[in-house]
A and B are shown apart, each in its own frame.
Chain A
Amino acid sequence: MTSNPTSPAPRATLAASPSAIGASAAHRPARETTRRGELVATGLTRRFGSVVAVDSVSLTLKAGEIHGLIGPNGSGKTTFLNLLTGYYKVDEGRIVVDADDLTAAPVQRRPHFGIARTFQKPRLLGSLTVLDNAMLGGWEHAQSGFLETALALPRARREDRQQRELAAELLHGVGLGNILTRRANLLDHAEQRFLEIARGLTMRPSFILLDEPAGGLTEHEIEQLARIVVQLRECGVGVLIVEHHTDFVFRICDRVTTLNLGKMIKHGTPDEVRNDPEVIRVYLGA
């Protein structure tokens, strides 16, 4: 795990977390999942007709680090994220998590490799409650088959209860604890974004990919988001943030990758990227 001296460390949260882990050990997930070390994309290329949307981009996301992906509109950030999560097929290149190659794995298999994501436009189930939405993320870890569920055999009920407890704890953790039973179509924008993060975390991922998480949030809400993301790093989760709020990205990220016209133009620490002449020219402005 790389720790970056240039990123400001949140002292308060660092101090708070160890005691809290001891305090509510009962809420620990019963079944530990495989912990993954790093997600490595090598030379990913994706073409739409004659347009090369992503042109041989490589990126390594380590568990326990926050990695920012920035660039102007149309630079291929979201396309790259959709390649990582399988919504687009990769034309060239490889995606590997530790020793497992998932380049050709379908979308629904990616969670198995410890990858969770959120969407630019939140994708929630409007007719279900906040709690049920978050619980949906537990599917990957539920083992009960259809008949087992239909007959409500002990394992199906136990798994459901465990998912409910975990989802409720995570929702309290991201600040939605007081609206567990509210229907998701009644949520405001910030609540939807935080709920998507909670749903992703219910998957107990090693990596979570956030697609413009700060979009449409107020200053205060962005601050809360930053605290959550930093906490994820402390817990050993790798976070990839695709974002336009560069202040937010430079403040919390350990490393930043900049894309322009599908190509990577700069990769490094926030300070290196912020002061790179090419990045300033095409994106940040003088």
Chain B
Amino acid sequence: MNSHQGRLAVLLVGLVALATLPFWAHDPYQVHLATLIGAYWILVAGLNLVVGYTGLLSIGHVGLLAIGSYAFAILVDHHGANPYVAMLAAGAIGGVCGFILGLPSLRLPGFYFAMATMAFSMIVSEFLLAQDSLTGGGAGIAVPGFNKPFDTPNGLFWLVMLIAAFVTWLTWNVSRLMWGRAMIALRDSDVAAAAVGVPVFSIKLIVYTFSGVTAAVAGALFGSLQSYVTPETFHFELGLFFFICIVIGGRGAIIGPLLGTIVLTALPEVVAPLAKLGQFFYGALLLLVVLLVPEGIGNLVKIVREKIRPRRLEKHVVAPDLARLAAAIGNRSAS
């Protein structure tokens, strides 16, 4: 109970510190960076259910991010929609796209599924270039901001943090209740999953659709933050980046990928020499993590603790309590 309260306290302090960031940040760029991390996290949180929990290798979520940004911009600019309504509509469109992409491709085994999602992100990119009357083609499109009260950079920061907190809460619920166990079963042993009646395909499709919604909502916020996007903004490496955030953070938890997103987004910005290294930095970090801590940096504390103080497993003799067993089963005879 104590460690539970401790964790809750840390969480609260962290949330308060984060919420007041615009008041103690040294320059607006830090708020911008935090907003970017938040927008990325909204996508990664949904993607984490797909990659970290269900074990699907989706590397093309940047396509869904692009769809969110463009849908938002087009709805607000061309159709005069309210930005908040447009963001929700973008989320719905992202969900539909995720569903349509998942319907044929989720039947493919791991590697081929990854290829399908990669192809999808490239198709989206080409589509954005080709349809220039709608999307502005290679020149790109201006993405509008939000209305009051979230119309300032600080306002956008708070909006992103609110949505990020909400999405994190949603994914936490999914992961801790029945669905989380079913998803991990699909990842670790589809034979066991099927044996207990987990509907393999529909679970994958529903989770993938949800990740499409969060990716597109993230796209609307990301676009609004950048204020101008082109098809170049959504290069394939960005999709890989989201995937790597989860792998480096660690599968099967929420805190790991969150740390992964923060570290991978902030480090190159904070440590200037790393920015020059660009892709090399990501590659080197991925290699280090996969080789040294394959469980992910989210589990670093746990791993170190077990190294220092390994838990001793006492051999115990299995002693069934038949009365309790009978009570739990109840009488199942068809009488």
Q: Which residues of A contact B (CB under 8 A)?
A: 1, 13, 16-17, 19-21, 23-25, 27-29, 32, 35-37, 63-64, 85, 87, 106-112, 116-117, 119, 123-128, 132, 135-140, 142, 144, 146, 149-152, 156-157, 159-160, 163, 166, 169-170, 172-179, 182, 186, 188, 190-191, 194, 199, 201, 203-204, 206, 220-221, 224, 227-228, 231-232, 234-237
Q: Contact check: which of A13, A108, A178, A232 meets B329 at CB < 8 Å?
A: A232
Q: In the complex, what's the smallest C-beta–C-beta distance from B129 to chain A, in angstroms? A: 35
Within the complex, the shortest CB–CB distance from A252 to chain B, in Å, comes to 14
Contact present for A150 and B170 (CB under 8 Å): yes
* Nearest opposing residue in chain A for B167, CB measure: A150
Cα–Cα distance between A129 and B331 once the two chains are bound (Å): 28
A112 to B184, CA, bound (A): 21
What would 21 A/B residue contacts be, using CB atoms closer than 8 Å? A27-B328, A28-B330, A35-B332, A37-B334, A63-B333, A109-B197, A111-B197, A123-B191, A135-B181, A137-B196, A140-B196, A173-B324, A191-B318, A199-B196, A201-B329, A204-B332, A220-B317, A227-B320, A228-B322, A235-B325, A236-B335
Chain A facing B: main interface SS: helix
Give the A-binding residues of B (Cβ under 8 A): 170-171, 173-174, 176-179, 181-182, 184-185, 188-189, 191-200, 206-207, 210, 252, 313, 315-335
Give the Cβ gap from B303 to chain A, nearest Cβ, in Å. 13
The listed residue (B182, B194, B252, B330) touching A235 by CB distance below 8 A is B330
Counting from the closest, the 4 A-B pairs by CB-CB distance are A173-B325, A236-B333, A20-B323, A111-B197
Enumerate chain B residues within 8 angstroms of A194, measured Cβ to Cβ: 318, 320
Minimum CB–CB distance from A65 to chain B (whole Å) comes to: 10
B196 near A111 with CB under 8 A, answer yes
B327 lies within 8 A of A119 (CB) = no
Q: Could you say which residues of chain A place their CB within 8 Å of the CB of B333?
A: 1, 35, 63-64, 235-236
Q: Are B328 and A170 in contact (CB-based, < 8 A)?
A: yes
A-chain residues with CB within 8 Å of residue B334 when the two chains form the complex: 35-37, 63, 206, 236
CB-defined contacts of B252 to chain A, threshold 8 Å: 127
| Identity of the chain B residue whose Cβ is nearest the Cβ of A12 in the assembled complex | B322
A20 touches B173 (CB 8 A): no
**Are B194 and A150 in contact, with the CB atoms below 8 A?**
no
B329 touches A237 (CB 8 A): yes
Pairwise interchain contact A203-B196, C-beta atoms closer than 8 A: yes
Taking CB atoms, residues of chain A closer than 8 Å to B335 are: 236
B11 to chain A, nearest CB (A): 17
Q: Write out the residue numbers on chain A whose beta carbons fall within 8 Å of the beta carbon of B320.
A: 173-175, 194, 224, 227-228, 231
Alpha-carbon distance between A166 and B191 when the two chains are bound, in angstroms: 23
Q: Complex Cα distance A202/B317, Å?
A: 22
Check B197–A20 contact: CB distance below 8 A: no
A159: chain B residues within 8 A (beta carbon): 177-178
**Least Cβ–Cβ distance between B306 and chain A, in angstroms:** 11
Task: Give every chain A residue within 8 A of B178 (Cβ-Cβ).
Answer: 135, 138-139, 142, 144, 149, 156, 159-160, 163
Of listed B192, B325, B326, B331, residue having the most chain A CB within 10 A: B325
A124 / chain B contacts, CB cutoff of 8 Å: 189, 192
Q: Which of A28, A107, A156, A163 gathers most chain B CB within 10 Å? A: A107
